[in-house]
Structure 1
Amino acid sequence: MRVIISGGGTGGHIYPGVAVAKKIKEKYSECEILFIGSENGLEKKLVPKEGFEIKLISVEGLNKKITLKTPSAVIKAFKGYFQASNIIKGFKPDIVIGTGGYVCGPVVLSAALKGIPTIIHEQNAFPGMTNKILSHFTSKIAITFKESEKYFPKNKVVFTGNPIRSQILNTNKTKSRGIWNFDNNKPLILVVGGSRGAKNINNAVSEIIPSLIQNNIQLLFVTGEQQYDEIVRKLNYKKSDKRFRGIVIEPYIFNMQDALGACDIIISRAGATILSEITALGIPAILIPSPYVANNHQEYNAMSLEQNGAAVVIKENQLKSDIFKDQILNLVNNKEMLKKMSQNSSKLAVIDASEKICKIIEELIK
């Protein structure tokens, strides 16, 4: 079997593809898998680290509104389509899978027009433009949130959940905390604003670090590579400084499974992949949906968890108020609430999504 997987831009589109690829390899060790990504996406770095080959094409997202950048984006879209077409022609896949991001548009479309079976995976409760368009061409549509079903042709939709990497499920809290020398007897908060970081979240967390230290609360603070230096300068942070005992600031964490396994509470954006990992481990969450994403889909994702008692949602415009600090301190000190949130979160978990997608693959290439 030969499989092409395409998706990228952020870790949220890449890691589900990696999870599916590893499940396929587990079941079919002789299978050949090729990733196709964009030249500017994180997939260029993340996919090879996971042990898979990747080829890159020139493509960028098309904005709904016509701007000065529109002609350039259209030209790149056509260029990306022909590059993808040539890669597909050379690799001769049995199936092509798109896991989100604008890069999978030309890849999945080219494969579908060649008569190759295709699957797209929609991770969000409110679908993006790329998948809405591709849904008319693709063979099957796998969804993470049942709320997204109404946006697609019903005869193609299969509810699978969001694929998560197997190592996420095999964490050990004591071992994970040992990586960063965290105390096992003190609460630990993990803050992650997505693979690119989130400036407003970073600034808000920086402001409350003195309160966390005062209340014996530990912090693993993942800033994103672009904002790490600014945060370190702002706080005058040094790992060896005793004033910051229990506070660890990192630009990026590749072993996210250990960060998730170590924490008692997570503060994060509401991308579909991080939410799938949160629920898989039953982690109580404070979610701050990004207001800068297409169709405000992160708010739909976050509300799905809050309505089920698994998370507290805070709007980004509330970060500068005391609401943010008060919610954190109140939650950390409320063990009964944390227990209920953890239980409710676990009820939402779908941990066999990769297996379900493998079954769709097997059906399509029989």
Structure 2
Amino acid sequence: MKILITGGGTGGHIYPALAFVNHVKKLDPTAEFMYVGTKKGLESKIVPSYEIPFKTIEIQGFRRSLSPQNFKTVYLFLSSIGKAKKIIKEFQPDVVIGTGGYVSGSVVYAAKQLKIPTIIHEQNSIPGITNKFLSKFATRVAICFPDVAAYFPKEKVVLTGNPRAQEVVSVEKSNVLQAYGLDPNKKTVVIFGGSRGALKINQAFVEALPSFEEKEYQVLYASGERYYPELQKSLKLTEKKQMTISIQPYIDKMAEVLASVDLMVGRAGATSIAEFTALGLPAILIPSPYVTNDHQTKNAQSLVKSGAVEMISDQELTGTTLVAEIDRILLDDNRHQQMAAASKKEGIADASDRLFKIVEEIIG
């Protein structure tokens, strides 16, 4: 079996693809893979470390305003289709899977022209421009949120979930919190705003710090690299408080941490949602207002309906609202248990298996 994967630009497009590749390798050690991305995208830094053959094409997105750059975009799209066809012909895949980003537009479209079965994977509750375009040509459309099915041809849609969920679902609770100076046996909330951090979340945490120092639960906060030096200088924790509040620039063992804490607070990105719902972890989501089509708010709202999460808008977020919402969940065992059960129900723990089943069906 030969599978060509394409997707890039953000980790939300890349990590589900890599999780699926890792899963298929376990199911079929003879399977061969090729990943197509761009030189400038995050994928060029991440994919090679996974020892997957990696090829690149040049592509860029359309500007939303009238711009001469859009003429270049059209030129690059047309020329990239030719480059993608060359890569596909050399690799001769049985199926091509696109996980989003502009690069997948060229590659999946080229595969369609070469009459190769294709699958696109949409992680969010609102589809990106590329996947909306490709859905007309793809053999199947794999989705993670039931609501997004309305944007695609009904006969092509299959609910699979996010492969990242199946990768983390087997992670068990451990003593990982000790690595951050915390007690593994104490109630803990982890707060983070993504790999680079988020200014509004950082400001709310600083405001909430005096209140956190009085709580029975622990707080693990990942500020992001850009905010960490300032926090180190401005925040002085007593030796006693250092045992219940841990401030880190980045959490490199996030799956283990999520499996070992009682509550998550963070953005409403597709990958984070896949991870915490797979583990049955309650969450407080603060959707980023800076994403296309405000899709993080839509992601969060679908989970609010089920009772798995609470949502605080970026505009409403303060230290006071943050602490109050955390208290409502962590200090009420019944509420916490109900949210955990709802979160687990929303998770799709066999996402990679579902996606692989589609692969087997369309290639015979």
Please state if 1:309 is matched with 2:307.
yes
| Cα distance in 2 for residues equivalent to 1:107 and 1:250 | 39
8 Å CA contact 1:213–1:244 kept in 2: the answer is: no
8 Å CA contact 1:164–1:351 kept in 2: the answer is: no
| Cα distance in 2 for residues equivalent to 1:349 and 1:247 | 29
State the Cα distance separating 1:76 from its structure 2 match.
4.2
State the Cα distance separating 1:9 from its structure 2 match.
2.2
State the Cα distance separating 1:49 from its structure 2 match.
3.7
> Could you say which residue in structure 2 is the equivalent of 1:343?
341
Deviation readout 1:239-279 (Å, 9 max, x if unpaired): x9665333333333343211211221101111122111111
Please state if 1:257 is matched with 2:258.
no
State the Cα distance separating 1:345 from its structure 2 match.
0.8
Where do 5+ consecutive residues of structure 1 fail to align? Answer: none
> Could you say which residue in structure 1 is the equivalent of 2:98?
98
Pick which of 243-252 and 263-272 moved more: 243-252
Shift in CA distance, 48/176, structure 1 to aligned 2, threshold 3 Å: farther
Deviation readout 1:302-350 (Å, 9 max, x if unpaired): 0111111110011000113622232123322122211110011111111
- One-letter amino acid matched to 1:180: Y
> Could you say which residue in structure 1 is the equivalent of 2:285?
287
State the Cα distance separating 1:234 from its structure 2 match.
4.5
| Cα distance in 2 for residues equivalent to 1:158 and 1:241 | 53
> Could you say which residue in structure 2 is the equivalent of 1:324?
322
- One-letter amino acid matched to 1:211: S
Deviation readout 1:23-54 (Å, 9 max, x if unpaired): 22122211111222233333233333444333
Shift in CA distance, 27/336, structure 1 to aligned 2, threshold 3 Å: same
RMSD, aligned CA: 2.4
> Could you say which residue in structure 2 is the equivalent of 1:198?
198
> Could you say which residue in structure 2 is the equivalent of 1:23?
23
Shift in CA distance, 32/261, structure 1 to aligned 2, threshold 3 Å: same
Provide the secondary structure at the position in 1 that maps to 2:158: strand
Shift in CA distance, 205/76, structure 1 to aligned 2, threshold 3 Å: farther
- One-letter amino acid matched to 2:253: N
> Could you say which residue in structure 1 is the equivalent of 2:162?
162
Pick which of 63-72 and 113-122 moved more: 63-72
Pick which of 222-231 and 327-336 moved more: 222-231
> Could you say which residue in structure 1 is the equivalent of 2:148?
148
Pick which of 137-146 and 319-328 moved more: 319-328
State the Cα distance separating 1:236 from its structure 2 match.
6.3
Query: What TM-score does the superposition give when structure 1 sets the normalisation length?
Result: 0.91
> Could you say which residue in structure 2 is the equivalent of 1:10?
10
State the Cα distance separating 1:128 from its structure 2 match.
1.3
| Cα distance in 2 for residues equivalent to 1:67 and 1:81 | 22
- One-letter amino acid matched to 2:326: I
| Cα distance in 2 for residues equivalent to 1:201 and 1:271 | 15
* Partner of residue 354 from structure 1, selected from 345, 352, 355: 352
| Cα distance in 2 for residues equivalent to 1:179 and 1:324 | 25
> Could you say which residue in structure 2 is the equivalent of 1:174?
174
Deviation readout 1:137-194 (Å, 9 max, x if unpaired): 1111011111111111111111112212544122232333233342023221112323
* Partner of residue 267 from structure 2, selected from 253, 269, 278: 269
Where do 5+ consecutive residues of structure 2 fail to align? Answer: none
* Mapping of residues 119-130 of structure 1, within 5 Å: 119-130=119-130
| Cα distance in 1 for residues equivalent to 2:46 and 2:178 | 24
Provide the secondary structure at the position in 1 that maps to 2:271: helix
Fraction of identical pairs, as percent: 41
Deviation readout 1:31-81 (Å, 9 max, x if unpaired): 111222233333233333444333333333323333465345444444544
Pick which of 83-92 and 7-16 moved more: 83-92
Provide the secondary structure at the position in 1 that maps to 2:321: helix
Query: What TM-score does the superposition give when structure 2 sets the normalisation length?
Result: 0.91
8 Å CA contact 2:212–2:323 kept in 1: the answer is: no
8 Å CA contact 1:167–1:257 kept in 2: the answer is: no
Provide the secondary structure at the position in 2 that maps to 1:164: helix
Provide the secondary structure at the position in 1 that maps to 2:274: helix
Pick which of 253-262 and 145-154 moved more: 253-262
> Could you say which residue in structure 2 is the equivalent of 1:217?
217
8 Å CA contact 1:23–1:358 kept in 2: the answer is: no
| Cα distance in 2 for residues equivalent to 1:129 and 1:88 | 23
State the Cα distance separating 1:99 from its structure 2 match.
1.1
Shift in CA distance, 259/321, structure 1 to aligned 2, threshold 3 Å: closer
